[in-house]
Amino acid sequence: MMHRRLAFIDTLRGIAVLSVLVQHVFEVIVEKHPTGAYYWPIHDVFGYYMNFGRFGVVLFFFVSGFVIPFSFPDSATPVRDFAISRFFRLYPAYWTSLIVGLVTMQLLDSKIYPLGQIAANVTMLQTFVNVPNLWVFYWTLAIELLFYFGCTILFAMGLLNRRFTAVTIVVAAALVGTTAALLVENRAVSSVMEVGLNLSAMFLGKIIRDTVIGGKLRWSHVAVCTLLYAIFAIALADRRFGGVYHENFFHSYSIAAAYVCAALVFIGFAVFGERMSWRPMAFVGVISYSVYLMSPFVIVFIHRLVWFGDGPLGWSIFLTLILALSILVSWMTFTYIEKPSIAFGQRFRSARRKKVVLEPALSTQGAAE
């Protein structure tokens, strides 16, 4: 079926990407400039008790879980058409980000990356072949690809939209992950469990969708799965990050809080639906993939070229300028790269088998967050 966009989902995307952007800006302020008496308040808000960057990323994961499992078209070749849709949704904007990043680092730092690393990153599969991301924020794309692959396998097996598939996955992941976090002191195991936690957030997003729109599940299912997911997140955050980390700036509290708060915020929005939509934030949500990919380089450029002084006024101007330029650049990327690429990809999809019907469901253009 053809789906229309839900404005509250785009609003959540906007909140998610701006949370990531603001986190990155304040990390630059605190880590690279003297903040005096403001150090601890900023440190506590953005490092010790809450990590808004991780909060935004996890919120994107919930959105993907809410959207992606329902993006397989009712066509003669749904798996092929899904893959084509995802390719043209993700890769052209991602390649643009790669080019912009390489040019930016060359201009500002005269930095040249190994050709093999660049080639691996072009595929977006670098994590799976143990090649470092060119830039750390690309790590989320590997999680998205894993989720797409998992959904494809479940769809092909006829299990994706079975009533209790997602519930079983979340419960099993939470039980295994929590047990491993509590009993196994091994960083490699903790890293694998972190991937499991991120995928759990996605499948929990599907459970919430099946409750508020599909009507296949009850709120009791959401409550139990959310509780187990929260316990998993808290236990793993303590084991994975072990208290303070990243030069004593972050604390495991902040990661656990990010996962739990993302779940609560997403549930709140899902309960009230379109009443939670806000047009300006929804606009940012529509271009959120480009904002996520392009804003880090805007931050680097602005920080290198101009500084407005230390203190609340200078920081506010710095943040405002980065927000404005990030949205402008991302709107251009969305308009001239993302939209044409998505439209071009539509040409390769097979015809639908059923009559097109509009329903209050979701856009097939899920976020890659």
Output the pLDDT for position 267: 98
- Beta bridge partners, 352, equal 75
Model confidence pLDDT, tens digit, residues 231-266 = 999 999 988 887 666 666 678 889 999 999 999 999
Q: Say if CB 82 and CB 73 are below 8 A apart.
A: yes
- Write the DSSP string, 1-46: --BPPPHHHHHHHHHHHHHHHHHHHHHHHHHHS--GGGHHHHHIII
Model confidence pLDDT, tens digit, residues 41-100 = 888 888 888 999 999 999 999 999 999 999 999 888 999 999 999 999 999 999 999 999
367 pLDDT higher than 70: no
Output the pLDDT for position 214: 82
Element (H, E) at 312: helix 312-333
Backbone angles phi, psi at 54, to 5 degrees: -70, -35
Backbone angles phi, psi at 113, to 5 degrees: -95, 150
| 43: Cα within 13 Å, side-chain hemisphere | 19
The predicted model scores a pTM of 0.92
Structure tokens at 342: 């998505």
Model confidence pLDDT, tens digit, residues 189-232 = 999 999 999 999 999 999 999 999 989 999 999 999 999 999 99
What is the SS3 assignment for 244?
Answer: strand
> Could you give the residue ranges of the DSSP H alpha helices within 110-164?
115-123, 139-156
Model confidence pLDDT, tens digit, residues 118-153 = 999 999 999 999 999 999 999 999 999 999 999 999
